[in-house]
Structure 1
Amino acid sequence: MEPASLQGVLAFVQTVEAGSFTGAGRRLHVTKSAVGKAVAQLEQRLGVRLLNRTTRSLSPTSEGLGYYEACVRALSEIEAAQSLLAERRLVPSGRLRVDVPLAFGRRCVAPVLFDISRQFPDLTIEISFNDRRVDLIEEGIDLAVRMGDLDDSLSLAARRIYAQRSAICAAPSYLEKHGRPRSIDDLASHSVIGYGRDGIVRPWSVRHADGHIEKFTPR
């Protein structure tokens, strides 16, 4: 239905209930002439006269009365649908598909989601654990927890929820055999275990004492 048609329906219903264009205008916060014009345009589109007009009163024709009753039912359905959506906004329900990294998801995210599920029994949460970078839209994911740079951040709404810090560690026996690295450049000559995803090893961001950050990619 076009906006003009809906405006005509509202104007017609209010006119029947108020008994005049003036009363309908007060209800709709528009002028008397605007209501009369909207009803006239509605009659023209329908090809039927909906109102009997006299100098003193307005009353629906037989066709107009039937149309009025149908419109009231339709508007009631629309109002009920809006109320239903408002209730659902207050109480979470339906299905929520969440994608999280494997280790971090099991340790930190899953317990939170379990608590939410217990609080809202009408909400069904489906969790997938993996370190593969999935296409959220293609795979129907509603919410994802990402770690590191967001390659798809331009097309998705994102919010930082946690800052994870890591440390460079080595076993005492390894340092005794290979020596202690004194700089980031020294790491290139050492055996390093790095974190990879989708076949790509993620670079390390090393923060120095003076605050500047240096990147190092394990090989």
Structure 2
Amino acid sequence: MSEVKLAAESRSEFGKGAARRIRRENKVPGVVYGHGGDPIHVTLPGHELSLALRTPNVLLALALDGKTQLAIPKAVQRDPLKGFIEHVDLLLVKSGEKVTVELPVLTEGELAAGANLLEHVLNTLSVETEATHIPESVTVSIEGLDSGDAVHAKDIKLPAGTTLATDADAVVLQVLSAQAEEAPAESDEAAAEA
């Protein structure tokens, strides 16, 4: 798991106008909360934050008011057209503390011979893990799976120190048989020729 250091600034202005001014300076407004304290409104550097958020469940070391605190992203709001970050909510964490996060599900291997389709019912898996040791993803082997086979959440091998927070019987992946395209009926062709 990667840790990214960011310089955060406290902010006292709120509302649309203040947020727009912050974004014009290539910065992102955000809120840091957790551990029973009051929420802290911050301004973060836009480019550095955007690069950091490319890694799922990244651990951020926020330098704020002379001290460094660890946080993970909980909610990121993006502009629907341009894709830039409009606002971010961060959750304070401590070493050894357990947090619930969503891990991307990756697959490896080949399906059984035949025309089969792999359907990702769940693209992420909700797990509980230590805040400073969050795995980047979960890998599932699909080697030899055939039509009608399914992989449930309880069947996935999780990294050490990680427990399942999703329903154990939830289907994560399933193999479907491919539908062949039907040939047009001969009676339709005969009617068309007549």
TM range (shorter): under 0.3
- Higher relative helix content: 1
TM-score w.r.t. length of structure 1: 0.24
Q: Radius of gyration: which is bigger? A: 1
Work out which structure has the larger RCO, using CA pairs closer than 8 Å and 6 or more positions apart in sequence: 2
Higher strand share: 2
- Normalising to structure 2: TM-score of the pair? 0.26
